[in-house]
Amino acid sequence: MSTAQGGHAAVFQEYRPLLFSLAYRMLGSATEAEDIVQDTYLRFQPAPLEGIESPKAYLSAIVIRLCLNHLTSARVRRETYVGPWLPEPVLDAAHPELAGPEADTISLAFLVLLERLTPAERAVFLLREVFEYEYDEIATILDRSEVACRKLFSRAREHIAEHRPRYEASPDEHRRLLEQFMRAARTGDLDGLMTMLADEVTVWADGGGKVPGAALRPVHGRLNAARFLIGVTARFAPADARYAVANVNGKPTLLVQRAGGTPFAVVSIEVDHDRIRTVWAIGNPDKLRAV
């Protein structure tokens, strides 16, 4: 390895956790984020290091631009996706670079909110709110004016604030409610499950057309949601399934595995006050590799 190559590798490794964190939040997919990070390194290698004033900003710009291009091409695929599209869950232990003060911004709830923003709004919001870049840096990365970036950030922040839950449960409360939810769904306890669900609860099931029983549209309302959850658990969960709670995307999350350890589904909940207001069930096997 030449000295120049060694220098590039050392610089890249220093910022690699940041780059993956950016790409994962932009794309909602660990698999795609890894591809973006690798592509970033290939594009970084030919650049003369002595001409780069800020490697962090330079590498971040490559990642963000690659993500924006990827999202443009991915939009067509997501429009033809069978059923709801949800982010790819990641096990906390497998991606320690996503932990830290910003860990709440990798929750499925937050990633789903980001999906509702335009790609440009998402990029500005993440760079400013999560990673604390200055507006002049963001403007350079996105090749836009500072005024335009401030407007994008303002719209994004308003949308995020409007749709976030009013009350965040503590990790212990979240885990307790998840375990009660798991028991009620497995045992067919309709009344018990309904006491945990908010009136306006919504269930999203991402099977990608590969999982029988996955609802092709969101299920709304407490009674409908409870009946659906109990019914799909009874009919389609493997008879030898093992249920466990693990930290996924920064939150206690239900893992359903076949007896051999193969993931069958990941189920995450969003808690508002002491009720579950959203359930995300991801069963598409292509999205379960990171758990």
pLDDT surpasses 50 at 39: yes
pLDDT surpasses 60 at 3: no
Give the percent of the chain with pLDDT over 90: 76
Q: Write out the two tokens for 262.
A: 């193969």
**pLDDT score, position 101:** 66
CA distance 44 to 26: 20
Q: Are the CB atoms for 86 and 31 separated by under 8 Å? A: no
Q: What is the CA radius of gyration of the chain?
A: 20
pLDDT surpasses 70 at 127: yes
pLDDT surpasses 60 at 4: no
Average pLDDT of the residues in 262-291: 92
CA distance 17 to 23: 10
pLDDT tens-digit map of 254-270: 999 988 888 999 999 99
Q: For residue 102, how many other CB atoms are within 10 A of its CB?
A: 17
**pLDDT score, position 290:** 79
Average pLDDT of the residues in 222-241: 93
